[in-house]
Amino acid sequence: MQDNQGVTLVDDMLWRGLIQDSTDPDELRKHLDGDAITFYVGFDPTAASLHVGNLMQVVTARRLQLAGHNPLLLVGGATGQIGDPGGRSTERQLNPQDVTAGWVLRIRDQLTPFMTFDGDNAATMVNNLDWTGELSVIDFLRDVGKHFPVNKMIARDVVKNRLETGISFTEFSYQLLQANDFYELHSRHDCSLQFGGSDQWGNITAGVDYVRRRGAGPVFAFTTPLVLKADGTKFGKSAGGATWLDPTMTSPYAFYQFWVNADDRDVPHYLRYFSFKTREEIEELEKATAERPQARLAQKELAFEITALVHGEEEANQAVMASQALFGRGSLSDLSADTLRAALSEAGMTQVRGELPTVVALLQEAGLVKSGGDARRTIAEGGAYLNNERITDPEAVIPESALLQGRFLVLRKGKRTFAGVERV
């Protein structure tokens, strides 16, 4: 598998830094750069939507499919009910089964646009509940459990880290389920490769070992690196919480802004991990950033590409347009009614009727502050703006003349949080 410039899939992935750990690197290369194979990557339904932290896996699966391999996208209806003990110090709160089942459907829908489901190497959705749900306790303990030495299970980092603080048998068993998934997918779909985030390495190798113990295989695996941020904070969090892929949970505008605001030092990594641009294009962007960082060219290109991938090109264009209108140099009063409406809708629009309220009330209604005190504080700190002019009097009633195009107000908190108001 290689493109017309002779760069193989593995070469490209190595350059991008997508391979953190792998079983036998030479074998992995032969496998991935050879004939089409079937691979799987799993997503557990632990929330109603995937977030940018999951994007690495989604995009990598797409990369492999574009290179000609056959994807199995597993949404863990079974494992999602058990809970991966990894990456946390306390027991998970189990969600009701019907909630998890609902999330499975949503996440399946969410994954769909990233992959192709027809053609020679069509992707397939699978759910481990299909083979785990009916497994009896006796069968599970005899057929699966017998292959897992507890001493090895305990030695795995994720379990070891929890031994002090506590881990239930439920979560302790998680690795058996994931290992069994690999075996089942190997038997049912001839799946020979699993990948996942580096936090999944233990679970993944448990699967590789298990397949071998059952006399099948060989199967291969690799993990993608944890996305790190230069400032040491967690990737994916931005003002107020996670950045979700679901447009009702994180608007396309906010999603676009998430990427635009990426730290200069992180952008080169993000481009490699998430973008489908070529190596030459990426290196070009890096050069541009080094020369004129304030132009944020790389951030903008990255933000557009990822937003278009996740939300479609139309939404991405809207986000760009809104960003230009709101952050642009020009005066807001120069914007047309249509542009204002569209831009503010992207940022979040609130409607008010009749008399315009005080700025404190308006800031609250627009959702920029969480209480009246918060609004007053923000104004006192000089962080509240109406139509890009700093608000100084919290009790001021907004005059009719402030309405842009006779009906819009642009509220801003701090440097970059906008909200629109439309008087109807």
Partner RNA sequence: GGCGGGUUGCCCGAGCGGCCAAUGGGAGCGGACUGUAAAUCCGUCGGGAAACCUUCGCAGGUUCGAAUCCUGCACCCGCCA
∠ CA(311), CA(79), CA(136), 5° rounding? 145
Region near RNA per CB under 7 A, out of 20-28, 344-352, 366-374, 400-408:
366-374
Cis amide prior to 218 (ω within 30 degrees):
yes
Region near RNA per CB under 7 A, out of 135-143, 172-180, 227-235, 279-287:
227-235
Out of 142, 146, 188, 370, point to the residue binding RNA (CB under 7 A).
370
Q: Which of residues 279-308 bind RNA (CB under 7 A)?
A: 293-294, 296, 299
Taking the complex as a whole, the smallest distance from the CB of residue 242 to RNA amounts, in Å, to: 13
Taking the complex as a whole, the smallest distance from the CB of residue 408 to RNA amounts, in Å, to: 19
Tell me the C-alpha distance between 116 and 222, whole Å.
22
Tell me the C-alpha distance between 4 and 26, whole Å.
23
Name residue, tokens 């940022």.
347
Region near RNA per CB under 7 A, out of 32-40, 58-66, 92-100, 414-422:
414-422
With binding defined as CB under 7 A, does residue 251 bind RNA? no
Region near RNA per CB under 7 A, out of 12-20, 35-43, 115-123, 368-376:
368-376
Taking the complex as a whole, the smallest distance from the CB of residue 373 to RNA amounts, in Å, to: 3
DSSP 424: -
Out of 78, 179, 206, 260, point to the residue binding RNA (CB under 7 A).
260
Query: What is the token pair recorded at 65?
Result: 């499919």
What residue spans of 86-237 are helical by DSSP H? 97-111, 129-132, 137-139, 150-155, 157-165, 169-172, 174-189, 201-213
Out of 34, 113, 218, 373, point to the residue binding RNA (CB under 7 A).
373
Q: Smaller CB distance to RNA: residue 14 or 163?
A: 163
With binding defined as CB under 7 A, does residue 164 bind RNA? yes
In sequence order, which residues have a C-beta less than 8 Å from that of residue 240 and are 6 or more positions away? none
| Distance (Å) of CA 158 to CA 44, 86, 88, 163, 216 | 17, 5, 8, 9, 26
Q: Smaller CB distance to RNA: residue 75 or 411?
A: 411
Tell me the C-alpha distance between 157 and 164, whole Å.
12
With binding defined as CB under 7 A, does residue 243 bind RNA? no
Q: Kindly state the number of chain residues that form the binding site for RNA, as judged by CB under 7 A.
A: 37
Instruction: Give the x-and-dash track for 379-398 against RNA (CB under 7 A).
Output: --xxx---------------
The partner residues of 224 in beta bridges, in order of sequence, read: 197
Instruction: Give the x-and-dash track for 310-329 against RNA (CB under 7 A).
Output: -------------xx--x--
Region near RNA per CB under 7 A, out of 32-40, 56-64, 348-356, 377-385:
377-385
Taking the complex as a whole, the smallest distance from the CB of residue 370 to RNA amounts, in Å, to: 6
Taking the complex as a whole, the smallest distance from the CB of residue 22 to RNA amounts, in Å, to: 32
Query: What is the token pair recorded at 373?
Result: 């005190």
Region near RNA per CB under 7 A, out of 139-147, 158-166, 185-193, 307-315:
158-166
Q: Smaller CB distance to RNA: residue 152 or 370?
A: 370
Tell me the C-alpha distance between 389 and 384, whole Å.
8
Q: Which of residues 165-224 bind RNA (CB under 7 A)?
A: 165-166
With binding defined as CB under 7 A, does residue 236 bind RNA? no
Q: Smaller CB distance to RNA: residue 149 or 293?
A: 293
Taking the complex as a whole, the smallest distance from the CB of residue 193 to RNA amounts, in Å, to: 36
Taking the complex as a whole, the smallest distance from the CB of residue 53 to RNA amounts, in Å, to: 16
| Distance (Å) of CA 370 to CA 250, 324, 364 | 18, 27, 6
Tell me the C-alpha distance between 280 and 177, whole Å.
42
In sequence order, which residues have a C-beta less than 8 Å from that of residue 304 and are 6 or more positions away? 256, 316, 320
In sequence order, which residues have a C-beta less than 8 Å from that of residue 280 and are 6 or more positions away? none
Tell me the C-alpha distance between 154 and 175, whole Å.
11
Q: How far is CA 74 from the centre of its chain?
A: 16
Out of 26, 231, 280, 291, point to the residue binding RNA (CB under 7 A).
231
CA Rg value for the chain: 25
With binding defined as CB under 7 A, does residue 407 bind RNA? no
8 A C-beta contact, residue 144 and residue 173: no
Positions that interact with RNA (CB under 7 A):
164-166, 230-231, 233, 239-240, 257, 260-264, 293-294, 296, 299, 323-324, 327, 370-374, 376-378, 381-383, 413-417
